[in-house]
Amino acid sequence: MLQDQEAHASQMERTFIAIKPDGVQRGLISEIISRFERKGFKLVAIKLVVPSKSFAQKHYHDLKERPFFNGLCNFLSFGPVLAMVWEGEGVIRYGRKLIGATDPSKSEPGTIRGDLAVVVGRNIIHGSDGPETAKDEINLWFKPDELTNYTCNQEKWVYGVN
Ligand code: IDP
Ligand code: MG
């Protein structure tokens, strides 16, 4: 069953995904990108950033009351973070599935955290947890002109768009 362009376009979403300093330092960039790429999602923005501590505090503002907040923000500013925006139908929710549960000791095998991380404080990757957060995080990390718009030839095969 083919879906038409309009129906497809209306279901497109974008999410913010970041490989944290532990994932970058452990050489897991290509492994992680390939999981999103092979799934059929489309990369629309990417850059390597060393965030300041105050930038990290903005990113994790909803966790400021938690006991691990200070350590978490220090950690994010330790080294390069690979910031990305991925696009696709259902990418916000499904991106979280690819990533796995917050605590890698509880993440299912087959997920990024389940396969590649061991403890919650070093769980290698971040993904937006909903449409509002995705919008806010993309705006925090990227300027509008850093987000690309392009048609990828594989889209008609991934989505069955006519
Ligand atoms: P998420 O990354 O799966 O969305 P959040 O609850 O939003 O999980 O927490 C953000 C990050 O804070 C986690 O990815 C993890 O790095 C860190 N974190 C969460 N809970 C703990 C904890 O209990 N101890 C230490 N770090 C934690
Ligand atoms: Mg979160």
Tell the residue nearest (CA) to atom 8 of ligand 1.
Answer: 102
Q: Are 99 and 112 in contact (CB under 8 A)?
A: yes
> Tell me, what's the ipTM?
0.98
Tell the residue nearest (CA) to atom 20 of ligand 1.
Answer: 120
State the pLDDT at residue 1. 57
- Cβ neighbours of 131 (radius 10 Å): 13
pLDDT band at 115 (very low <50, low <70, confident <90, very high): very high
Q: What is the average pLDDT across 112-135?
A: 98
- What is the rounded distance in angstroms from the CA atom of residue 48 to the CA atom of residue 50? 7
| Mean pLDDT for all residues in the chain | 96
Ligand 1 atom with the shortest distance to the CA of 96: 3
Query: Residues with catalytic annotation?
Result: 126
Cα distances (angstroms) measured from residue 119 to each of 116, 136, 138 = 10, 27, 26
Q: What is the pLDDT of residues 42-79, one digit of tens each?
A: 999 999 999 999 999 999 999 999 999 999 999 999 98
Q: What is the average pLDDT across 115-137?
A: 98
Q: What is the average pLDDT across 87-105?
A: 98
State the pLDDT at residue 2. 63
For residue 159, report the distance from its CA to the centre of ligand 1, in Å. 33
Return the ligand number nearest the Cα of 104.
Answer: 1
